[in-house]
């Protein structure tokens, strides 16, 4: 399974904190995004925001990185701490 | 000599953090620290409080990486980052960044560097409680510019 996490404003926009996806369905972060857009077309406005950041297993990641079972992918808006 | 981070709901005591930074240390001639607080006005909104969220697991890791980068660039003896999460009220303390070094240039620069990267890299998100309701804070271009100068 691949765990997908949505944080902060994005979680509220999607109305979803996270989902699990079978690792046979997607093999990279970009495929995962495509899968989400097909499955949840109502999320496209929010998931396609240019400023959205992605992390793979708690590290900032680019969308061409491969995924394997047990991975955690997070999508979130620009950070505003401090 | 100690380097540590903390993410916590509880308030922090600046005096205790300062004491921790200089504990058992005879070399550090310079101590610089910064405290960020919840301010009343932000982007012309009247703020009565904040809700601060983080990404457990990643936020700690990013703060440790930022601290490692600072240690690689400057001669630091100690450094400490404390960042609060959860519900905060007007005038509450949000963040503490403290560094010690033999000389002040290193301490001043490292403290600024830590804050600049904390603001642009560490996964924290602020939601303001205002008279008009709850508003997620937007990223600031000036914070990005500040981190890009390093």
Q: What per-residue confidence (pLDDT) applies to B66? A: 98
Chain B contact for A78 (CB, 8 A cutoff) = yes
Chain B contact for A74 (CB, 8 A cutoff) = yes
Q: What per-residue confidence (pLDDT) applies to B144? A: 86
Mean pLDDT of chain B: 95
Domain that holds residue A28: 2-76
Distance of CA B53 to the CA centre of its chain: 14
CA distance B90 to B140: 20
Alpha-carbon distance B15 to nearest alpha carbon in chain A (angstroms): 20
Sort out which chain A residues have CB atoms less than 8 A from B36's CB and list them.
Answer: 82
Give first-to-last CA distance, chain B, whole Å: 25
* Cα maximum dimension of chain B: 52
Q: What per-residue confidence (pLDDT) applies to B9? A: 98
pLDDT tens for chain A, residues 1 to 82? 999 999 999 999 999 999 999 999 999 999 999 999 999 999 999 999 999 999 999 999 988 899 999 999 999 999 999 9
The 3-state DSSP class for residue B130 equals: strand
The answer as to whether A81 is a domain residue is no
Number of structural domains (chain A) is: 1
Residue A43 DSSP code? G
* Most A CBs within 10 Å, among B69, B116, B125, to test the A interface: B125
Q: pLDDT (tens digit, 9 = 90+) per residue, B85-110? A: 999 999 999 999 999 999 999 999 99
- Dihedral over Cα of A73, A79, A81, B1: its sign: positive
Tell me which residue of B143, B130, B31, B141 sits closest to B80, measured CA to CA: B31
Q: pLDDT (tens digit, 9 = 90+) per residue, B40-70? A: 887 778 889 999 999 999 999 999 999 999 9
Alpha-carbon distance A27 to nearest alpha carbon in chain B (angstroms): 22
- Per the CB < 8 A criterion, the answer to whether A21 and B139 are in contact is no
- Per the CB < 8 A criterion, the answer to whether B98 and B17 are in contact is yes
Q: Which residues contact A23 (CB under 8 A, 6 or more apart)?
A: A1, A2, A67, A68, A69, A70, A71
The answer as to whether A18 is a domain residue is yes
Number of structural domains (chain B) is: 1
* Most B CBs within 10 Å, among A3, A59, A80, to test the B interface: A80
Q: B141: exposed, middle or buried (C-beta count within 10 Å: 0-12, 13-18, 19+)?
A: exposed
Chain A contact for B147 (CB, 8 A cutoff) = no
CATH of the domain at A35: 3.10.20.30
- Whether B81 has a pLDDT exceeding 90, the answer reads yes
Q: pLDDT (tens digit, 9 = 90+) per residue, B104-126? A: 999 999 999 999 999 999 999 99
CATH of the domain at B49: 3.90.1170.40
Contact A77 B121 (CB under 8 A): no
Alpha-carbon distance A30 to nearest alpha carbon in chain B (angstroms): 21
């Amino acid at each position: 399974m691949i765990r997908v996490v949505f944080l902060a404003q994005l979680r509220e926009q999607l109305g979803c904190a996270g989902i699990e996806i079978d690792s046979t369905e997607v093999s990279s972060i970009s495929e995962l995004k495509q899968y989400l857009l097909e499955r949840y077309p109502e999320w496209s406005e929010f998931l396609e925001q240019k400023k959205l950041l992605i992390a793979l297993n708690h590290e900032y990641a680019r969308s061409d990185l491969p995924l394997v079972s047990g991975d955690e992918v997070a999508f979130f808006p620009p950070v505003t701490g401090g | 000599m100690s380097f540590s981070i903390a993410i916590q709901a509880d308030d922090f005591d600046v005096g205790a953090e300062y004491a921790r930074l200089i504990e058992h240390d005879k070399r550090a001639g310079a101590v610089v620290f910064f405290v960020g607080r919840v301010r009343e006005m932000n982007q012309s909104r009247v703020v009565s409080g904040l809700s601060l969220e983080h990404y457990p697991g990643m936020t700690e890791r990013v703060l440790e990486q930022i601290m490692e980068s600072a240690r690689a660039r400057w001669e630091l003896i100690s450094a400490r980052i404390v960042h609060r999460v959860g519900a905060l009220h007007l005038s509450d303390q949000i963040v503490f960044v403290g560094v010690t070094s033999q000389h002040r240039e290193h301490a001043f620069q490292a403290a600024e560097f830590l804050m600049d990267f904390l603001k642009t890299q560490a996964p924290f998100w602020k939601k303001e409680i205002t008279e008009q309701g709850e508003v997620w804070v937007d990223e600031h271009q000036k914070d990005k510019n500040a981190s890009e100068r390093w």
